[in-house]
């Protein structure tokens, strides 16, 4: 599928799903190859967190000891701090690698005119662009300070009315398109980071409403699907919890603890995996929009076709 192609609002949707239909296996396979280790580590940390929640926090409530959590943390302060540090470091690293995956993947896809690249090529591209990604993060934080103030005020104004609340996904879509568009342009290594921020806004402005409406709707659909999927193990866990009530109306603390532990782990694992995949799809949609707007501004594919015609004469 050609990335550099002028598209309208409907084609933003159609080509996102068309890309997944044609290249979805390659796309998701390489995501989990690149991010698999971090996902496994987060799953393990999630297991220990669910165990801690069951044995300390929930256990303290069941046994009527509200100070159980404070006592546990005080007795294991070193282990607790280590757990938090590891979770934060791994979580941030995984988030950065995951966020940069789609821009790097599509960059290689555009250069190779398809999926003619491997996980090794992706990893090499990560290494090549690690400095750019770090610079993008630092500058992105600086840009976010005034941007979030403006967006926060706008979101507050919109929440006053029901119609305004419905427009909130557009704000999320606009900010996401702006940031990812900047990173994708910066990875081309033809512009500075500040030029890339300016260019991303220029691209958005060409088809502003169509672009942010499409991305905003993808965010809304992803949120709804994630909520539905995450609530299923919660409902099953609550059903299992009530089945542990004995004839006298009392709960068995051990059964309750096991049920809560399984429920927490299932919710964390399913939510994490579903969230990761849905986030990838939303980012892919942003990528489709970006390359479409870029083609309309620079005529990259059109110039390439003319060059090929000229070389054949």
Asked whether the predicted pLDDT for residue 289 surpasses 90, the reply is yes
89-100: average pLDDT = 85
Q: What percent of the chain clears pLDDT 90, i.e. is strictly above it?
A: 33
Query: Domains in the chain: how many in total?
Result: 1
Residue 110: alpha-carbon gap to chain centroid:
22
Whether this prediction's pTM lies above 0.95 is answered by no
Average pLDDT rounded to a whole number, residues 250-279: 69
174 part of a folded domain: no
pLDDT digits (tens, 9 = 90+) for 171-201: 888 999 999 999 999 998 888 999 999 999 9
Whether 35 is covered by a domain: the verdict is: yes
Residue 308 belongs to a domain? no
Q: Is residue 102 part of a domain?
A: yes
* 308: exposed, middle or buried (Cβ count in 10 Å: 0-12, 13-18, 19+): exposed
Decide if pLDDT at 273 tops 90: no
User: Residue 234 belongs to what domain range?
Assistant: 9-135+207-299
Could you tell me the maximum CA-CA distance found in the chain, to the nearest angstrom?
A: 90
Structural domain contains residue 187: no
Q: Would residue 78 count as lying in a domain?
A: yes
Q: What is the pLDDT of residues 72-87, one digit of tens each?
A: 666 667 777 887 788 7
Query: Is 295 a domain residue?
Result: yes
In a domain, 107, yes or no: yes
- Structural Rg of the chain based on CA atoms: 23
Kindly provide the b/e burial profile for residues 107-134, where b requires at least 16 CB atoms within 10 angstroms of the residue's own CB.
Answer: bbbbeeeeeebeeebbeebbeebeebbe
């Amino acid at each position: 599928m050609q990335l550099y192609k002028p598209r309208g609002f409907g084609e933003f949707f159609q080509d996102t799903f068309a890309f997944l239909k044609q290249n979805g296996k390659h796309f998701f396979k390489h995501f989990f190859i690149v991010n698999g280790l971090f996902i496994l580590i987060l799953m393990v940390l999630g297991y220990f967190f669910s165990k801690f929640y069951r044995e300390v926090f929930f256990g303290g409530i069941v046994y009527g000891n509200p100070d159980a959590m404070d006592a546990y943390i005080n007795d294991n302060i070193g282990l607790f701090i280590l757990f938090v540090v590891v979770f934060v470091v791994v979580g941030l690293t995984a988030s950065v690698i995951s966020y940069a995956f789609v821009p790097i993947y599509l960059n290689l896809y555009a250069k190779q005119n398809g999926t003619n690249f491997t996980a090794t090529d992706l990893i090499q591209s990560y290494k090549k662009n690690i400095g750019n990604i770090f610079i993008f993060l630092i500058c992105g934080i600086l840009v976010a300070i005034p941007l979030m103030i403006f967006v926060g005020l706008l979101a507050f104004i919109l929440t006053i009315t029901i119609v305004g609340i419905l427009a909130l996904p557009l704000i999320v879509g606009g900010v996401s398109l702006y940031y990812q568009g900047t990173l994708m342009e910066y990875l081309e290594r033809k512009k500075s980071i500040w030029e890339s921020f300016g260019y991303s806004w220029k691209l958005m402005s060409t088809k502003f409403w169509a672009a942010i409406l499409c991305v905003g709707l993808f965010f809304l659909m992803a949120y709804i699907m994630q909520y539905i999927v995450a609530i299923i193990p919660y409902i099953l866990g609550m059903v299992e919890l009530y089945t542990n009530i004995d004839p006298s109306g009392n709960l068995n603390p051990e059964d309750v603890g096991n049920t809560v532990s399984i429920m927490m782990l299932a919710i964390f694992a399913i939510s994490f995996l579903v969230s990761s995949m849905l986030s990838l799809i939303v980012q892919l949609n942003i990528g489709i929009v970006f390359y479409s707007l870029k083609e309309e501004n620079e005529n990259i594919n059109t110039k390439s076709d003319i060059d090929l015609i000229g070389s054949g004469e």
